Structure 1
């Protein structure tokens, strides 16, 4: 229940919560309008024992933050003669970091081969010249012909900021002082974030001088100012202060309408509150009649917060709302003689209004408030209303900025829809939280909270809520997001394998390893665990928001740098960052204290593998979505799209809602529509292009008069829905009213193709889809234009591209079909968005047609719905149009149904082609999902997208045997051909997929499960095993099988030895052996008797050319060991194998990788693992009787020691990989990459770089050289 008072206060509580009413305690549900409720004044402390502490940021330029390796250490080891790689090993850093420091910042030459040359490959003076002119790093890099990173490093070495200024030295306050509180109030009132600092808008010169003085006192730097549009714009130019400000106060003002009282002020004593309120009223308040101060704001949350502050310091104040045509404003003002006197005495104004107010109330007969009675520290106000409030669960949780976020989510879900969340705006795991001194738990924990909230609500038990979680690829926690719905992560969470309440509690990394043991080699889990796999985040679809710069890095084979959303700066890896990347096999790329950069290909591969596993995550190309938006988001950032609805067809602004309708194309074919196959054979040659031919065909095939009428009616209908709809959340309602977004789309496309004799996925089919959607797009815009003439444009039209068509010519003409010059003064339109294509799953079933732009799933299929609907049996659905076609051609429909159902029950149904009861002439018309390749699915989506101004919900379906490479091809195709997002699904990868032709969506996970199921089925059918065996048909089948087995037994048999099963835990040792191809790690695990049981070997980049061969050889050796082959024989076969590259290890020549593995196995068998490295001796040393012990010594840290590491219960050895991204093959200047690679292989050389793993080696001056990392064999 909610109680409201005449002074603007509201209290929400449970019915039995007690308040002091009319001098007595009363339950909230007993209070009535007209009662007097007691309000306390002055409850904030006069002083606090501890000042409110603030969080400082790294001093100086941001690029130097978080370094764990000093240049002095690099220089010292370089002077000792160590190579870059040896220095990196000594300092536990990456070689690329050492190379960059040594070459770019210390200007030192490389010691030995493989290092980057000292100095720079460009003129430093030219860089300074371009930098001083204000050019960005990217512009300078383009001019100098170098990489942007090179320019950034050059600036870093000279302490230059990105805006051309030398990095200035400033100070950072450690606590909230009264001066800082006052400056903070000025900023909350009328300030913002500047590109290079923090900005204030002030109208009075006294205030400007105050801002400058406060800045100098607080930060040791003044404010720069300009006069523009009737006010001063003052800027404190400092990136360091900007980062400090954002870290401590940024959450308090994302925009003017979302401003709040900063948390630091809420925790402060009265003097600091006085100062904050003084700054706020001076910036955004008025003084009426020289004695009545008032504060105005578009943010109700800010006004409520200031109201509480005033009451807290003992100043009676009232709040009310102002309504005008543009927007609502809220006001708070001191009241009563006591309130005005206390305000003038303790708060006042920065400018002359402070003295004016003091003079005005001095000796004046101030009136008492008309709102209740003020008596000292108690204020009684009349209750004006006690209202029922929606039910709500109380969570003991505080979320910065948006305290009602979960409450808003609950209300929205109860209305029966779905939501999209931009989780990438939350700070990453491990990020410091200044207000608490702790660290952030990261966005994934919020996802789980929202998932459980949605699960609990489940649409009132009738329909579950749907949610879309989006994370921008630049977020540091994106790796955790990508894997959040993988089987191992889902099992670990659902089974609570790291439950803190369990005495066996372990880390989540350990829980992941335990979960992975439950998944077999083919990625299957036991049937009894499948609900656990699919129960985690089951109310979420997840998509990664991929940006253009990520795709550029992917195509260039480069690393991608992550951004901390809290600071907007490159993310410096924390131990927690390292932890999550270690969990998913990318820890080798993460160095704590260094900027987080990962090869783009590695992240991309993880996305593809997740999609291959179970269809998650999808991808949203966020920047393309915003570039195609009806607003220029760079000029209007408040209109930036952050996420989509759950199905992905509606990229939405914050608080925007979907409003969709669909035209059934399958009812628009003309009664005398020609068959494309016949028409094209007769007429296609008459036209200059395929596009023109299709256009002419559609004029005959489609009833355009009916089509245009439906477009006009559909547009007007959806516009009326916007007007008439009620929304449960005020912000949603306001956004929908302002933008009036609608989405007119289609369904029945696949059925239309069949009617017109067109194959789904064909070139002509895609051209038909493109032309039909373009027609809908243009005609719906025309209708919306007519509506604007009748009813007015949408509220935010003036900021949209429709207001300035000539500035966005290509976009405007594409979506309207009109000449931008004819509408140079603006194109009035009622709805900022008019077209989309939704999945129309339920709608298309009601309309008895195919969904959206999807093909026919199949002519017969099972449909999984909730158990209370389908019961114990899955629902069998037949495509209605298929059945009608059969009936029209006098085919026995019942016979076709029986045949299909029998095949489906046996998991043998393979579409219409496998149905003998269906004539071929009919079957070839029905192209179903399984008949199409992934690219054909994607091509349809991209064709439709050309005629849609929102987006499209379409799934690129794949057969169960499709590979990850097949899916990657589709992801890249859609990006390259203008699509806005990708969703893929491989048949059978979820046990509860909605549509399937299988009786069971997955096969048995193991023989025991199969046996248990089969026995159960025998009992159900035959009544028991005995009756089953006595059955004549069974006996005949058994006799046949036995005869076949006996016949095969008579043939010569090869006796293959069975391999020993692997125990759960094995102990062993890992050796490092130097080879000509890099460091090789060999792990040998022993059985319980101390004999070698298995062997692992890793070298170079995971999945690379050399490593794949090495891993395969190790697996063969392990199989041999487990099969009882004598390890000495294995050593004999391996040792002595030669290759073009040799190396020395522990005094022995290592001729190849097989030779190295054989040597490691021999050392293990001969107990020579800890043997030292032999040193050179003179004859005098030998004659002098130098002992063997003196003749060997441990290797220095810069060399390989071939030493063993206790592997404990090891399963895999460590991988030594280079720092660089895996790059495309580059043959060097002017070279052909494929020819060079083939030449290397033909010469017996590995084409893979031993340092970074890139396949981009070429011959330079007779030496193999890597274009990616600079490695050279010379």
Structure 2
């Protein structure tokens, strides 16, 4: 075993790294990175033969100290005796029947139960929903019509949201529908109205479809289920292969719908399923139709991704000098040990389902990758978007591939090959045929322990906790520094700087000197340069790469629309993009004002818009959110919480004239504030949000909440100001009533309720909105002694579990809050 090599330039730990380590990974009395690393090493070495355990434990600790970073589930749970899984993500099958099984696939509600159990144990889940019959197709057994896959995805979405609330890890799902499914347009537009907030979605695209796009040909949408009578009357027919043709579309027009939606909403992503299967090492034993939630692992039904990464910045010597270089020999040594550790994880983990355990034992898939590529290239003096940077990245991936495959061959000699190994078929795989001949000879002679070995995953939180915020996975840094805001124990906030590892090291060495040209961020390069990096690395990765092509908000659509076509031509397995814009990431997206780029999108159904119950309208712009800090006292002591109300502006015709009104659209109170009643908090806010979105009586709902009584005595919260200016404290019969009172005050100040908490008529709402939006106009609902509210920031992302702001977006495979800069667990 090589002795640990101390870094030439030690950097003190960033506060963000310590925060994330202690919040997500350190357990019990663990306080440092080494504490967690020792636990992982000890847990995995315990599975080795007794005489060798001590040596393996030392070796496993050494590998982590040298730059191997196991994935988040391993770091958070290994060696703790929990029933949680050590596996980040799975793919679960979904059939067409309601229960039971069909064509070897579990029924929808069986699959729902299996997915819930998987997420309860900490795993994210991907699904292919293509087996579910299309909307309005015949259901012979009940003489009824089908509701289609998108409706059932909403059931899975709700289940994920419910399971998520029971644990600290946010649920993650990937929903896939294949391009020839008759409901594909509905799927493409599924997230436009703010639904499916717990899903990433991707379209599974075939080579045949892409060739039809290139040739501008017709493309058939087909399914095994018989269409309804209307579809049959419109020309639906059964083909010779037994599939029903529902209708024919222009391939290029369908592709344009995907591109428009991706440009506007960053979804759906695209999976090139034929390329995934052609490059699959187990092409002879399985079919791949879906991926895990972040897309770095195409997996069969019940397949899993057992992940870990090498921190490339740990292998850079003489950074920022002409002698800067990467220590490939030490990297290969660490990779060898990392393969052994990940193979042991498959035996150490608790499996949520027996089918997952059987699948893993039969194939022993692992996914070793790297993190910190963008930071490491900057340290080497190479630009991420230059040929030289791509050449080094390809050399890294090639060295990692060869070391990993050599290690797995040696493991096969020691412990045996994976059970489904078939030498002749395995060696005929397209990826395996590209291996150096000595590795192919070794596989022929000894077999191989793991069917797949390589994957490049998003690594946001483990990069923060264990790699001094080296860049995420294969990504370039999104920015070199940013400010993170964090809540304090007393309910306030504080800010501190978060910096990229390469930036910190350069500042340590060179002070305030200008950054050299190698410091290039994601938005400072062409979109095509992002794609070219994946193209350079993918030939050496046997599964896939989670990569987001980041483009600025003003990136031209005409340039954007060809990215995915170019990715297919380059032989990639999939792609995702991110373009910041006014509607991206919004949990409650409204339909934006039409633009040329959006004209191909399907119009929303009137039934999707509950505000039509009030008056005809069209939504305007973004949601605005108002957040208030609330302090109140109970017998249990003083408490501080935050309440957020999001408002929707709508324009329409009322009593013969065009008006604009504003009404509440969602209520939110972070449930992790631990007020002692976080379950009722979550339930109450969700119910109020449902009432708001349905155009229901918010005033009555809040009045009913104020009638709730508990046995713990009065709650003091807020005050009213008498006509003589005296502030009188207000007492409530319960904590629920106190929260309702404060929500009422927020809506009164906003002008939605009158002083008594009653609903303001639509005509008056329009007049108040007009007055309030005029420059210098006083707020008509201010009480005596109250100060005008500060300008309200516009927040239009998902809800942040840290600060509650509607500013959580998916960037580079990880959830990041643009308000407090919280980073959620990736993958």
> Pick from 765, 786, 792: which aligns with 2:410?
786
State yes or no: 1:471 paired with 2:167: no
SS across alignment from 2:222: coil
| TM-fit CA distance, 1:793 | 0.8
State yes or no: 1:554 paired with 2:203: no
SS across alignment from 2:562: helix
| TM-fit CA distance, 1:596 | 1.1
1:794 touches 1:830 (CA, 8 Å); kept in 2? yes
SS across alignment from 1:562: strand
Q: Which residue of 2 aligns with 1:937?
A: 530
State yes or no: 1:641 paired with 2:288: yes
Q: Which residue of 2 aligns with 1:599?
A: 250
> Pick from 452, 473, 480: which aligns with 1:859?
480
Cα distance in 2, alignment partners of residues 792 and 430 from structure 1: 51
1:837 touches 1:952 (CA, 8 Å); kept in 2? yes
> Pick from 427, 450, 463: which aligns with 1:831?
450
Q: 1:735 to 1:446 in 2, by over 3 A?
A: same
| TM-fit CA distance, 1:630 | 1.0
| TM-fit CA distance, 1:614 | 1.5
Cα distance in 2, alignment partners of residues 850 and 953 from structure 1: 13
State yes or no: 1:543 paired with 2:202: yes
Cα distance in 2, alignment partners of residues 1009 and 247 from structure 1: 39
State yes or no: 1:564 paired with 2:223: yes
1:935 touches 1:969 (CA, 8 Å); kept in 2? no
Q: Which residue of 2 aligns with 1:878?
A: 499
Q: 1:603 to 1:1009 in 2, by over 3 A?
A: closer
Q: 1:565 to 1:778 in 2, by over 3 A?
A: farther
Q: 1:873 to 1:654 in 2, by over 3 A?
A: farther
Cα distance in 2, alignment partners of residues 574 and 875 from structure 1: 63
| TM-fit CA distance, 1:773 | 0.6
| TM-fit CA distance, 1:620 | 0.5
SS across alignment from 2:407: helix
2:281 touches 2:426 (CA, 8 Å); kept in 1? no
2:97 touches 2:108 (CA, 8 Å); kept in 1? no
SS across alignment from 2:304: coil
Cα distance in 2, alignment partners of residues 991 and 824 from structure 1: 47
Unaligned stretches of 5+ residues in structure 1 = 1-245, 259-399, 491-532, 582-592, 680-699, 892-918, 995-1005, 1018-1061, 1068-1086, 1089-1274
State yes or no: 1:844 paired with 2:437: no
Q: Which residue of 1 aligns with 2:103?
A: 254
| TM-fit CA distance, 1:992 | 6.1
1:426 touches 1:565 (CA, 8 Å); kept in 2? no
1:743 touches 1:837 (CA, 8 Å); kept in 2? yes
Q: 1:718 to 1:632 in 2, by over 3 A?
A: same
Q: 1:702 to 1:824 in 2, by over 3 A?
A: closer
Q: 1:787 to 1:989 in 2, by over 3 A?
A: farther
Q: 1:873 to 1:427 in 2, by over 3 A?
A: farther
SS across alignment from 1:972: helix
Q: Which residue of 1 aligns with 2:668?
A: none
Cα distance in 2, alignment partners of residues 450 and 944 from structure 1: 34
Higher helix share: 1
Cα distance in 2, alignment partners of residues 614 and 870 from structure 1: 34
Q: Which residue of 1 aligns with 2:115?
A: 409
Q: Which residue of 2 aligns with 1:812?
A: 432
Q: 1:821 to 1:631 in 2, by over 3 A?
A: closer
SS across alignment from 2:368: strand
- The alignment's TM-score, normalised by the length of structure 2, stands at 0.56
1:805 touches 1:823 (CA, 8 Å); kept in 2? no
Q: 1:874 to 1:434 in 2, by over 3 A?
A: farther
How many residue pairs match? The answer is 503
State yes or no: 1:437 paired with 2:88: no
| TM-fit CA distance, 1:856 | 0.9
> Pick from 649, 662, 685: which aligns with 2:309?
662
State yes or no: 1:450 paired with 2:299: no
Q: Which residue of 2 aligns with 1:53?
A: none
Matches within 5 A, 1:866-905: 877-891=498-512
| TM-fit CA distance, 1:811 | 3.0
| TM-fit CA distance, 1:670 | 2.7
1:797 touches 1:803 (CA, 8 Å); kept in 2? no
> Pick from 247, 272, 284: which aligns with 1:621?
272
Task: Say which structure, 1 or 2, has more relative contact order (CA 8 Å, 6+ apart).
Answer: 2
2:220 touches 2:247 (CA, 8 Å); kept in 1? yes
| TM-fit CA distance, 1:705 | 2.1
Instruction: Decide which structure has the larger Cα Rg and report it.
Output: 1
Cα distance in 2, alignment partners of residues 647 and 758 from structure 1: 27
| TM-fit CA distance, 1:407 | 1.8
SS across alignment from 1:804: helix
Matches within 5 A, 1:573-722: 575=230, 595-633=246-284, 636=285, 639-671=286-318, 675=322, 701-722=325-346
| TM-fit CA distance, 1:737 | 1.4
Cα distance in 2, alignment partners of residues 541 and 479 from structure 1: 16
Pairwise CA RMSD? 4.0
Matches within 5 A, 1:35-114: none
Cα distance in 1, alignment partners of residues 332 and 309 from structure 2: 13
| TM-fit CA distance, 1:402 | 5.9
2:412 touches 2:446 (CA, 8 Å); kept in 1? no
Q: Which residue of 2 aligns with 1:755?
A: 379
Cα distance in 2, alignment partners of residues 614 and 754 from structure 1: 31
Cα distance in 2, alignment partners of residues 620 and 553 from structure 1: 16
SS across alignment from 2:482: strand
- The alignment's TM-score, normalised by the length of structure 1, stands at 0.37
SS across alignment from 1:752: helix
Q: 1:713 to 1:845 in 2, by over 3 A?
A: same
Cα distance in 1, alignment partners of residues 325 and 481 from structure 2: 28
2:222 touches 2:246 (CA, 8 Å); kept in 1? no
Matches within 5 A, 1:226-245: none
Cα distance in 2, alignment partners of residues 753 and 761 from structure 1: 10
2:485 touches 2:493 (CA, 8 Å); kept in 1? no
Q: Which residue of 1 aligns with 2:188?
A: 482
Higher strand share: 2
Cα distance in 2, alignment partners of residues 992 and 546 from structure 1: 24
State yes or no: 1:950 paired with 2:543: yes
| TM-fit CA distance, 1:448 | 0.3
Q: 1:870 to 1:473 in 2, by over 3 A?
A: farther
| TM-fit CA distance, 1:859 | 1.7
Q: 1:594 to 1:466 in 2, by over 3 A?
A: closer
Cα distance in 2, alignment partners of residues 603 and 992 from structure 1: 23
Cα distance in 2, alignment partners of residues 723 and 1065 from structure 1: 66
